[in-house]
Amino acid sequence: MKKIGILTGGGDCPGLNAVIRAITKTAIGIYGIEIIGFIDGFKGLVENHYRELNFKSVSGIGHTGGTILGTSNRDNPFNYLVSAMGEEPVFADKSAQAVKNINDSGCDGLIVIGGDGTLNIAQRFHEMGVKIIGVPKTIDNDLMATDVTFGFNTAVNTASDALDKLHTTAESHHRVMILEVMGRYAGWIALHAGISGGADVILIPEIPYSLDKIIDKIRFRYRNDKKFSIIVVAEGAAPQGGKMEIQKLVPTSHDPIRLGGIGRKVGQDIEEKTGIETRVTVLGHLQRGGQPIPYDRILSSRYGSAAVDAFVNKEFGTMVSLQGPSIKTVPLTAAIKDIKKVPTDSEIIKTGRAIGISFGD
């Protein structure tokens, strides 16, 4: 083995640079294998755009946010945008070109760092015979077959910090303060941040909510001299029998779907029904940006280093995975077969209920 290509795909995520650094240092330092990084995720693979990575280029990046390679969550080589000029955008299968570029660059295969969308594409390349190892990334923590994805705990830290700050205004002004957080179709960020940040109500996609139950909780607190309430709502949450809130996109947008708006809806509904002043904060991309917390720097370093070991051990078609205290490998297919949602009978939900949090049900 002489050379491995790497790429970061999907949304940016705290810890990506620590993974890139660990892969590069392990590959060169332990195995004498060269590393090249494809630019902007799979786009660089199709366009044959890459750069060499070495000790110098990964020096001093372990604590930084974003990805020095750039990323994209739009460019699927199997359905690649080749022209956006006409009325209808034109897509084509560019996977053969991508495989040719891997071979022409002298790479033995790829380490792909991404969430479910990126690793689905990685699996398709594996089925075409490309040697692939995956690394589980996403703030949403919704990948199967690993205890946790890197980036998640930094996002929880950011959301929990936001809740601490919102408490100040909530208490001082006797308001209901709502924080809308990311997480797509899973409630992990809302659940963990809500428990850590002392939320009174947590709304997650896995537990459809009733407005009346939320209001019961707010009124109960008022009666007990708590004239403020804190609500965390996951962007994918929805009322019982209702739908998720989806943002209106401009016609030229390549986004399939953009979640968002449920915080405002819940806020308006509460204010209308109770007359209590209710304010909404949408945390958005602050959850993805900035420095990874130490936990994620360490986890990313472990994942990156283990991914190179797995490549050298020829465990192709697998993803590195945290299982208890150890990093192991699992088939990519196990990681992407479904979205990992919050089990509604889990210990952490029980804990939330035990400490008085309402899930709106």
**25/56 Cα distance (integer angstroms):** 10
Of the pair 101, 287, the CB lying nearest ligand F6P is at: 287
Parallel/antiparallel/unpaired status of strands 132-136 and 318-323: parallel
Number of residues that bind ligand F6P (CB under 6 A): 13
Q: Which residues are catalytic?
A: 140
Contact range with ligand F6P by CB under 6 A, out of 81-89, 180-188, 212-220, 225-233: 180-188
310 binds ligand F6P (CB under 6 A): no
**171 φ, ψ (degrees, to nearest 5):** -70, -45
182 binds ligand F6P (CB under 6 A): yes
- The answer to whether 287 touches 190, Cβ cutoff 8 Å, is no
Residue type, 230: I
**267/275 Cα distance (integer angstroms):** 11
- For 115-228, where are the E strands, in sequence order? 132-136, 176-181, 201-203
Of the pair 5, 9, the CB lying nearest ligand F6P is at: 9
For the bound state, the minimum distance from the C-beta of residue 115 to ligand F6P, rounded and expressed in Å, comes to 6
Using DSSP, state whether 279 is helix, strand or coil. Answer: strand
Encoded tokens for 158: 């950011």
How far is residue 244 from each of residues 139, 237, 241, 260, 359, measured CA to CA in Å?
Answer: 20, 6, 10, 8, 16
Of the pair 36, 139, the CB lying nearest ligand F6P is at: 139
Binding mask 82-121 for ligand F6P (x = CB under 6 A): ---------------------------------x------
Contact range with ligand F6P by CB under 6 A, out of 60-68, 77-85, 177-185, 302-310: 177-185
Closest CA to 156 of 114, 209, 202, 211: 202
Using DSSP, state whether 303 is helix, strand or coil. Answer: helix
- The answer to whether 270 touches 276, Cβ cutoff 8 Å, is yes
> Of 220-239, which residues contact ligand F6P (CB under 6 A)?
235
Q: Which of 138, 301, 318, 358 binds ligand F6P (CB under 6 A)?
A: 138
Of the pair 34, 235, the CB lying nearest ligand F6P is at: 235
Of the pair 200, 296, the CB lying nearest ligand F6P is at: 296
Encoded tokens for 103: 């071979």
Look-up of token digits 């923590």: 141
Contact range with ligand F6P by CB under 6 A, out of 60-68, 178-186, 312-320, 325-333: 178-186
Of the pair 73, 157, the CB lying nearest ligand F6P is at: 73
**Computed from CA positions of residues 338, 241, 270, 347, in that sequence, does the dihedral angle turn out positive or negative?**
negative
For the bound state, the minimum distance from the C-beta of residue 357 to ligand F6P, rounded and expressed in Å, comes to 22
Contact range with ligand F6P by CB under 6 A, out of 51-59, 136-144, 159-167, 340-348: 136-144
For the bound state, the minimum distance from the C-beta of residue 257 to ligand F6P, rounded and expressed in Å, comes to 9
Number of neighbouring beta carbons within 10 Å of residue 59 = 11
**223/218 Cα distance (integer angstroms):** 9
For the bound state, the minimum distance from the C-beta of residue 55 to ligand F6P, rounded and expressed in Å, comes to 31
66 binds ligand F6P (CB under 6 A): no
Encoded tokens for 196: 């850590």
Q: Which of 100, 219, 258, 353 binds ligand F6P (CB under 6 A)?
A: 258
Q: Which of 34, 108, 140, 200 binds ligand F6P (CB under 6 A)?
A: 140
145 binds ligand F6P (CB under 6 A): no
> Could you list the residues that contact ligand F6P (CB under 6 A)?
11, 73, 115, 138-140, 182-184, 235, 258-259, 288
